[in-house]
Amino acid sequence: MASQAPDQAQGLLHVIVTYLEMRAAPDTSPGPPPYPGARTGRIQRPSVAAYRFLYDGVGEPWLWHERRALSDAALAVIVQDPRLEFLVLSEDRRIAGFAELDRRDTPDVRLAYFGLLPAYIGHGLGPWLLGHAIHEAWQGNTRRLLVNTCTFDHPAALGLYQRMGFVITRSVMRRTPDPRLSGLLPLNAAPHIPLAW
């Protein structure tokens, strides 16, 4: 039987987190939607249930787990903060994805979360939603727009951020407990990432 690496035996996953920033608003606007039925809408202070629908639906394939671990009360404190803004993408009135802008450290703005529900990936909606999020982030007194991605995310994520004008500032290797082993996520989530048995 093959021996496991020590971290795997302890249920830990290795992940590379890449931090990026944008220091000036882009000259271009998001442009027309890739499909006639695509729309974005801004919301603030979503209900916990609505937020969990977005976060869980978009994030499960990429092992998003930090906010799953929060109680409803703790999550409400975050998502109902008026300094957070949410762009929700819909296609033909069906929710397709979201972007979360965090202005709690202004004049820096953080693109805290961004992504699509699995059925909408690969149809040109991601770059369009990201363009809208970037445009919204630069409204006001913004000095920098920050985002991070990691090796658990969609393989095209880093390249997309760079094409949209973000510049890498640093990358770090981290070890994190596998959230599937604790029950935060189902064991079949993110099948592209081997379980850390």
- Phi, psi at 130, each rounded to 5°: -60, -40
What is the CA 176 to chain-centroid distance, rounded? 17
Taking 3-state DSSP, the helix, strand and coil percentages for the chain, each rounded to the nearest 5, stand at: 25, 30, 45
- Gap between the Cα atoms of 79 and 75, Å rounded: 6
Calculate helix-pair angle for 72-79, 48-59, nearest 10 degrees: 90
Q: How many CB atoms within 10 Å of residue 182?
A: 11
The pLDDT of residue 146? 98
- Residue that is written with structure tokens 């850390």 in the block: 196
Residue 5 pLDDT > 80: no
Tens digit of each residue's pLDDT (9 = 90 or more) over 140-152: 999 999 999 999 9
pLDDT band at 30 (very low <50, low <70, confident <90, very high): confident
CA distances to 7, 55, 73, 85, 160 from 81, in Å: 37, 16, 12, 9, 28
Using alpha carbons, select from 38, 37, 78, 39 the residue that is nearest to residue 55. Answer: 78
Tens digit of each residue's pLDDT (9 = 90 or more) over 94-119: 999 999 999 999 999 999 999 999 99
The pLDDT of residue 120? 95
- Provide the mean pLDDT of the chain: 93
Please state whether beta strands 108-116 and 144-150 pair in parallel, antiparallel, or not at all (unpaired).
parallel
- Gap between the Cα atoms of 109 and 152, Å rounded: 23
Beta bridge partners of 21: 146, 167
Buried b (16+ CB within 10 A) or exposed e, 61-88: bbbbbebbeeeeeebbebbeeeebbbbb
